[in-house]
């Protein structure tokens, strides 16, 4: 049997799901989520938010999780968590996630979902948990020892996906090990106790990962990201400060000119033009002209999104209502699934 965890296989499965989604959106339940550790940025927007809105509008049942318990997998503080969660809801709404169509909720508000963790933990071995490459990488990056939560959070992620019978999970490549363990857990549960859970697939994006303004991986901690929530002025400032090089003529060369190329990629994705075309147009006008072009491109693209966001910033009560309603629905779903799980396991008294 081929290695199901391998990227090629996942990609092939993802392509098949993609075709199925267009023909039979009603057969799919999407679940994906974000850790509320800060504001969402352009990488999130083009990498996943835009795609979620498309699925939502295709008529797929869509669920978006604010993964608050995952915040403490690799850090020992929950500082600013409430503010981050509310702002994440604002980012979602501003980007077009419609709370009448998409359930927006957070981990900590759904006890029955978290309770799935107990039977699920019994279905995986310590060795499987230990060899998860994403967990290893996160442990190394955190500089902490491996906590019980960091080791087991992929199982918690299986709870996130399976409590709502999710079968399609839009994620980046780094999340594939978690999808694989989710699939194993669903299969093993069904085999042991009877069919309750669906077969799960990752939905991998075709859009190449948008690099940060300096060409490195876009990350808040590198200061190379433009947040959706920034003002036009803050955006201009961030772009102006980004690192370029001494060569005047603008060319697209990600390998040797990461700064210039990161800027070009940002402009390209916002305008729908190619990097090479923009580079040719700017030519000898240099990095200053490129930065102006990028700033305009970003600010123009995000103007309507930011305008909507302002409305939500000024209506926190509405934002809270959206989350409370999502949490209420999530609890309903989670309780129904947990009841099925108990029934399948014979734990009905």
* Cα–Cα distance for residue pair 273/265, rounded to 1 Å: 10
What b/e string do you get for 272-291 counting C-beta neighbours within 10 Å, with b at 16 or more?
eeebeebbeebeeeebeebb
Question: Rounded to an integer, what distance in angstroms lies between the CA atom of residue 241 and that of residue 106?
Answer: 35
160-to-179, 223, 305, 311 alpha-carbon distances in Å: 11, 30, 28, 30
Given a contact cutoff of 8 angstroms between Cβ atoms, the answer to whether 225 and 212 are in contact is yes
- Return the structure tokens found at 349: 């008294």
Binders of ligand TRP among 101-160, rule CB under 6 A? 157, 160
Q: Which of 29, 55, 65, 294 binds ligand TRP (CB under 6 A)?
A: 65
33 binds ligand TRP (CB under 6 A): yes
**Binding segment toward ligand TRP, per CB under 6 A, in 62-70, 110-118, 230-238, 276-284:** 62-70
Query: C-alpha dihedral over 307, 312, 313, 316, to 10 degrees?
Result: 170
Return the residue of 62, 70, 115, 327 that touches ligand TRP, per CB under 6 A.
70
- Which of 29, 53, 64, 67 binds ligand TRP (CB under 6 A)? It is 67
Question: Quick one: 84 or 175, whose CB is closer to ligand TRP?
Answer: 175
Q: Does 34 bind ligand TRP (CB under 6 A)?
A: yes
Query: How big is the site for ligand TRP, counted in residues (CB under 6 A)?
Result: 14
Candidate segments 29-37, 222-230, 269-277, 286-294, binder of ligand TRP by CB under 6 A: 29-37
Contact stretch for ligand TRP (CB under 6 A) within 25-33, 85-93, 219-227, 283-291: 25-33
The region of 63-71, 82-90, 140-148, 336-344 touching ligand TRP under the rule CB under 6 A is 63-71
What is the per-residue binding string for ligand TRP in 162-201, x denoting contact by CB under 6 A? -------x-x---x--------------------------
Secondary structure of 34-87 in the HEC alphabet? ECCCCCCEHHHHHHHHHHHHHHHHHCCEEEEEECCHHHHHCCCCCCCHHHHHHH
33: part of which helix (H) or strand (E)? strand 29-34
42 is a contact residue toward ligand TRP (CB under 6 A): no
Distance, in Å, from the CA atom of 118 to the CA atom of 135, rounded to the nearest integer, reads 20
Indicate the residue among 35 and 306 with the shorter CB distance to ligand TRP: 35
Kindly list the residues in this chain that would bind ligand TRP in the complex (CB under 6 A).
Answer: 31-35, 65, 67, 70, 157, 160-161, 169, 171, 175
């Amino acid at each position: 049997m081929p290695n199901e965890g391998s990227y090629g296989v996942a990609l092939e499965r993802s392509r098949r799901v993609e075709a199925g989604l267009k023909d039979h959106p009603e057969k799919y339940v999407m679940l994906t989520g974000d850790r509320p550790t800060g504001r969402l940025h352009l990488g999130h927007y083009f990498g996943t938010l835009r795609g979620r809105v498309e699925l939502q509008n295709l008529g797929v049942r869509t669920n978006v999780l604010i993964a608050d318990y995952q915040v403490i997998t690799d850090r020992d503080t929950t500082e600013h968590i409430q503010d981050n969660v509310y702002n994440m809801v604002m980012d979602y709404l501003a980007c077009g996630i419609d709370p009448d169509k998409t359930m927006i909720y957070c981990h900590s508000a759904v006890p029955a979902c978290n309770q799935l963790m107990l039977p699920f933990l019994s279905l995986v071995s310590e060795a499987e948990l230990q060899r998860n490459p994403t967990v290893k990488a996160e442990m190394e990056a955190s500089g902490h020892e491996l906590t019980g939560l960091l080791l087991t959070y992929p199982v918690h992620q299986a709870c996130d996906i399976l409590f709502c019978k999710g079968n399609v999970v839009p994620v980046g490549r780094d999340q594939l090990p978690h999808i694989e363990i989710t699939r194993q857990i669903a299969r093993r549960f069904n085999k042991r106790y009877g069919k309750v859970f669906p077969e799960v697939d990752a939905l991998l994006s075709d859009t190449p990962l948008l690099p940060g303004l300096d060409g490195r991986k876009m990350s808040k901690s590198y200061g190379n990201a433009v947040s959706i929530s920034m003002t036009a002025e803050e955006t201009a400032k961030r772009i102006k400060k980004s690192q370029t090089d001494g060569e005047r003529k603008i060319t697209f060369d990600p390998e040797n000119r990461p700064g210039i190329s990161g800027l070009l990629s940002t402009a390209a994705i916002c305008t729908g033009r190619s990097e090479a075309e923009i580079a040719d147009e700017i030519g000898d006008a240099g990095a200053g002209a490129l930065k102006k072009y990028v700033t305009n491109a970003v600010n123009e693209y995000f103007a309507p999104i930011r305008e909507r966001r302002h409305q939500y910033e000024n209506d926190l009560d509405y934002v809270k209502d959206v989350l409370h309603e999502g949490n209420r629905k999530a609890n309903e779903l989670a309780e129904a699934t947990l009841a099925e799980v108990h029934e399948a396991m014979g734990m009905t008294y």
